[in-house]
Structure 1
């Protein structure tokens, strides 16, 4: 019962990571223009999310995987800021939602932190 949190968070990150490979263009479109090799960075962050998500499922790798996911969440934060600052490029999202998304990175980090403790 106690491991439900780490399982839920692990599955969410694994699925999110897989989406980086299924729809890489979606993730490329939110990256700051000055970043080179955007497709490769999308794949790298997707791979990190998959590895971290799967790692949360196993007690022996949970702590390491959690730290890797936290680093990944911090690393992709500039893309979220980029979206909020350039809301006109993303008409499918209300600007307020893009700004509201920023503090949710802390919620995601807290979820990973809790999963590490399972």
Structure 2
């Protein structure tokens, strides 16, 4: 069971680090999902930095638990944006079906981060 937890933690860290880097590699990718009233580049870069820091934090002894909690909170913050996108006539996720699947993925990420937070021993 310990190896499964470690694998889930490494996979979550990898997902977060990759997502964080992607915010800088392809920042315009995120423009359609960010509401127009928010500064798109700022939101993209700040969220990318936060994802990078939290992903790296899962690898640093003593910071694993707070990083998992930070990911949990970040995924909760992103949830309304994905719900808003799914309700639009033309979702950024291209189709309503994909937008609703993205919401389910968001709930998976929330649950996954909470599991890591609850089970981290540090």
Q: What band does the TM-score fall into relative to the shorter chain?
A: 0.7 to 0.9
Q: CA RMSD in A?
A: 1.8
Give the corresponding residue for 2:26.
23
TM (norm. structure 2) is 0.83
Question: Is the Cα–Cα contact under 8 Å of residues 91 and 99 in structure 2 kept in the other structure?
Answer: no
Instruction: Map Cα deviations across residues 56-81 of structure 1 (whole Å, 9 max, x no partner).
Output: 12231011111111111122223212
Cα deviation, residue 113, structure 1: 2.1
Q: 1:89 to 1:110 in 2, by over 3 A?
A: closer
* d(CA) in 1 for partners of 2:59, 2:48: 17
Which protein has greater RCO, CA pairs closer than 8 Å, 6+ apart? 1
* d(CA) in 2 for partners of 1:84, 1:18: 25
Q: Look up the SS of the partner of 1:88 in the other structure.
A: coil
Give the corresponding residue for 2:15.
12
Question: Structure 2 unaligned runs (5+)?
Answer: none
TM (norm. structure 1) is 0.86
* d(CA) in 2 for partners of 1:13, 1:89: 23
1:42 aligns with 2:44: yes
Give the corresponding residue for 1:110.
111
* d(CA) in 2 for partners of 1:59, 1:108: 22
Cα deviation, residue 94, structure 1: 2.5
Question: Is the Cα–Cα contact under 8 Å of residues 20 and 27 in structure 1 kept in the other structure?
Answer: yes
